[in-house]
Amino acid sequence: MAIEFPGADFAVDYGAYLSAYELIAQMPLRNWAAGLPLGNGDLCAVAWQPGGEGGLSWGITKTDVWDLRSPYRDYEWATHAEVLRLIEQENWEGLRDLRAREQAVAGDRTQPPNFKACGVLSLRAPEITDHLHLDTDERGRLRSPAGRMVLRGYESRLSLHRAQLTTEIEKRYMRTRTTSFVHATRNVLLVRFRELPVSGYDSQRARRTEYIYDEPQVRSVALHRHADPTLGDPIFGHDGQRFWVDYPFPEGVRYVLAVQIVGATCHIERDDEGWLATLDELDAPDVTVVASVVTSHESDDPVRAAQELIAEAEATGHDELVGTHQRWWDGFWQRSFISFSDEFLCHLWHHALYHHASCNRGRYPPPIQTPWYLNDWQQLHGNYHGDINIQQYTWPVFASNHLELGEPYWKLYSSCLDDLRARTRQTYGVDGIRFPVLTTPNMIDHAHLWPRYWMGMSAWHAFIFWEFYRYSQDRSWLREVGYPVLKGVAEFYQGYLQRDDVGTYHIYPTHSPEQGDLWIRDPTIDLAFIKAALVAAIEASEVLDVDRYSRSTWREIADHLAAYPQDDEVLLDYEGAPPDLPLGHVSLLSPIYPVGDLGLDSPSDAYARAKRTFKGAVARSNRGVPFFPFDMPAIGDDTNWMWLAAVAARLGLGETARAYVYDLGIFPHLKHNGTCFNGYTLDPRQRDDGPSYG
């Protein structure tokens, strides 16, 4: 079906167009970190094939399944007054001791809080489990161990248009197709296995020829969830038809992952880490499985609710579910369109949009390592990092015309403003709202003394809320959601900034995120976002015609905010910073992107200085990988190749932006399944092969 876009003189057959951007694996993907992602924004699954008797597997997660215990829940942070006193006394040892005490509370990454996976569903049948090795003989011909089925072909294809994975396995005399998808509007995963007709196919002959088996073979479905060492044992239950994992956490959420083989009877029995359901029908040619997840956020009785989701899916029927799922994704893809000469970048753009829709429509934003992560604990506890990570996840939602994909972000960060005001007053002694820099869905601050003083980050959050209004023009949303954030953040800086003798406002004490000296003044990133946040609060108050007195105060501060630190050649990271300061982040480029205060429209000298700063940034990275195997710079993705590419584009350096995407991003980071290696584990000696969101 061709889709017409308003203002365009063409129509797009999105099904045909997106078929060029499908992701195809022609060999089994042997571990979950290499698997292919599915999801509806809340319920997520990653599909792979572990080999041996493991069958086809789907690791299942949900965006609100967190162990939210926190050692900082009732922790009393050192107050801002105490920190200022130590700084004034130049008691640097005292500050180091204070930082060490606060940091020690967190423990290592195995300790809560942490994002948690729900379990693994596996479909087992001889046609898809028996020694799926693409072995070849000395002449290059495919072969398999004697007496096993001969593998003739393998393809696992992820369709972006249908948001569906299709795995076809062909052996002599028989072919199977397994389709799977997470329904776009129901929290159910549907898996269907079928034998397909093959020319000359004779089921009985095939089975006699392909196996050294004297008896018909069974199909089975396994559901596993191991005991997490920090959570205790899960509870396993079944009712003769459905079987489930029920995992109550010590604090926080309880979830239930339930499974049913639809339209068939089976025998259910316990195995080492869960359930094994074996179909009563031998050599069953068609098997349909439905899985659902419900949390205690959604129901007081998650077991019953999960069973009801499965029953509703069964009553609706597989074909109707496929249809409603496809209609949702048809509507999604109609919202925006791009096409340009670099086909591979087009491919990545559509995959990024697919990933966003697949993990950004739930109760909470996705964790830092994506929800397609099955280890017991994520790097950095999976938390929301407020110095680039959580903000960056919102970047694609604006220009792609998908503001709905930012809702988990703004709903979370606007959910507890009264509590944040109280904490800000208690710790910093000023009115307003300061957002925690490191946090989880309960918005408890987990940032010890160093990141806790990345003081410009609340302004960055306010800037993003203003972007939501600018792109939506929704005054009701601005009044009810956006403006309380903008006003609260402006009030915080109104109280926190220091005014010098000549009337200039400075931010002190603060730190530039992840680099440079401690207890500094006027980092470029802080000044850029504080100015943007104050201007946003001013303009929002004008739109709503409120807070005229506060508006004049914010305007006076914005008009007299300190200038960006700079020398004759480049922007400096903060006041007094050396021009060659090693960079963990490219924070000093914030005025260019995302703030937009410097760029092509700037005066020629300001533009030239911004351009020189940008061009020297890669060489200043303190997160390079010295043994990267290509003749190119390799930086961690937290130094941030995405940020660098966006800055290049805003400076009008299109080919440089493209080169950075390839040389700093795709070549070192991109995996074959469309996700990225974690940037700071590019060193193969340290690599964690889980996906990193990008």
DSSP result, 479-508 = IIIIHHHHHHHHHHHHHHSEE-TTS-EE--
Q: Tell me, what's the pLDDT at 409?
A: 97
Same domain? For 403 and 550 the reply is yes
Same domain? For 271 and 145 the reply is yes
Q: Tell me, what's the pLDDT at 170?
A: 84
Tell whether the model's pLDDT for residue 693 goes beyond 80: no
Q: Tell me, what's the pLDDT at 199?
A: 65
The pLDDT of 59-68, averaged and rounded, is 96
Residue 150 lies in a domain: yes
> CB neighbours of 645 closer than 8 A, spacing ≥ 6?
657, 658, 660, 661, 664, 665
Could you tell me the pLDDT band of residue 152, with boundaries at 50, 70 and 90?
confident
Q: Which of 393, 394, 528, 379 is nearest to 455 (CA)?
A: 528
Tell whether the model's pLDDT for residue 202 goes beyond 70: no
Mean pLDDT of the chain: 89
Reported as a single tens digit per residue, the pLDDT across 242-258 is: 999 999 998 768 999 99
Let me know how long the chain is. Answer: 694
Reported as a single tens digit per residue, the pLDDT across 486-504 is: 999 999 999 999 999 999 9
Residue 337 lies in a domain: no
Q: Are 478 and 540 in contact (CB under 8 A)?
A: yes
Domain assignment of residue 449, given as a range: 383-563
The least confident of 160-169, 269-278, 675-684 is: 675-684
Tell whether the model's pLDDT for residue 150 goes beyond 70: no
Same domain? For 292 and 257 the reply is yes
> CB neighbours of 20 closer than 8 A, spacing ≥ 6?
343, 347
Task: Mark out the alpha helices in 651-681 (DSSP H runs).
Answer: 654-660, 667-669
Residue 692 lies in a domain: no
Could you tell me the pLDDT band of residue 174, with boundaries at 50, 70 and 90?
confident
CATH number at residue 529: 1.50.10.10
More confident residue, 3 or 333: 333
Could you tell me the pLDDT band of residue 462, with boundaries at 50, 70 and 90?
very high
Tell whether the model's pLDDT for residue 650 goes beyond 70: yes
Same domain? For 402 and 521 the reply is yes
Q: Are 244 and 306 in contact (CB under 8 A)?
A: yes
The least confident of 45-59, 119-133, 134-148 is: 134-148
More confident residue, 459 or 214: 459
Same domain? For 524 and 445 the reply is yes
What distance in Å separates the CA atoms of residue 465 and residue 555, rounded to the nearest whole number?
19
Domain termination residue (choose one: 524, 546, 563): 563
For 598-634, the three-class secondary structure string (H helix, E strand, C coil) is CCCCCCHHHHHHHHHHHHCCHHHECCECCCCCCCCCC
Same domain? For 559 and 579 the reply is no
What distance in Å separates the CA atoms of residue 445 and residue 423, rounded to the nearest whole number?
10
Same domain? For 554 and 594 the reply is no
Reported as a single tens digit per residue, the pLDDT across 85-118 is: 999 999 999 999 999 999 999 888 788 899 999 9
Residue 8 lies in a domain: no
Domain termination residue (choose one: 265, 293, 328): 328
Residue 296 lies in a domain: yes
Reported as a single tens digit per residue, the pLDDT across 16-42 is: 889 999 999 988 898 899 999 999 999
Residue 689 lies in a domain: no
Same domain? For 585 and 538 the reply is no
Same domain? For 559 and 574 the reply is no
DSSP 261-292: EETS-EEEEEETTEEEEEESSTT-SEEEEEEE
Same domain? For 574 and 521 the reply is no
Residue type, 633: P
More confident residue, 656 or 669: 656
Show the beta-strand stretches assigned E in 330-433.
384-385
> CB neighbours of 449 closer than 8 A, spacing ≥ 6?
78, 83, 95, 98, 99, 102, 103
Domain termination residue (choose one: 563, 583, 602): 563
Tell whether the model's pLDDT for residue 509 goes beyond 80: yes
What distance in Å separates the CA atoms of residue 586 and residue 579, rounded to the nearest whole number?
13
The pLDDT of 212-238, averaged and rounded, is 86
Three-point CA angle 549, 461, 694, nearest 5°: 160
Q: 645-651: long-range contacts at Cβ-Cβ below 8 A with a sequence spacing of 24 or more?
A: 646/395, 646/593, 646/594, 647/586, 647/589, 647/592, 647/593, 647/614, 648/614, 649/593, 650/592, 650/593, 650/596, 650/599, 650/600, 651/592, 651/599, 651/600, 651/607, 651/610, 651/611, 651/614
Same domain? For 223 and 297 the reply is yes
CATH number at residue 165: 2.70.98.50
More confident residue, 208 or 151: 151
Report the half-sphere exposure of 525 (CA within 13 A, side-chain side): 25
Q: Tell me, what's the pLDDT at 345?
A: 92
Tell whether the model's pLDDT for residue 147 goes beyond 50: no
Could you tell me the pLDDT band of residue 69, with boundaries at 50, 70 and 90?
very high
The pLDDT of 157-175, averaged and rounded, is 89
Tell whether the model's pLDDT for residue 610 goes beyond 70: yes
Residue 687 lies in a domain: no
Quick one: CA torsion of 340, 345, 349, 350, rounded to 10 degrees?
80
Residue 600 lies in a domain: yes
What distance in Å separates the CA atoms of residue 268 and residue 339, rounded to the nearest whole number?
51
How many domains, the chain?
3
Same domain? For 281 and 226 the reply is yes
Could you tell me the pLDDT band of residue 5, with boundaries at 50, 70 and 90?
low
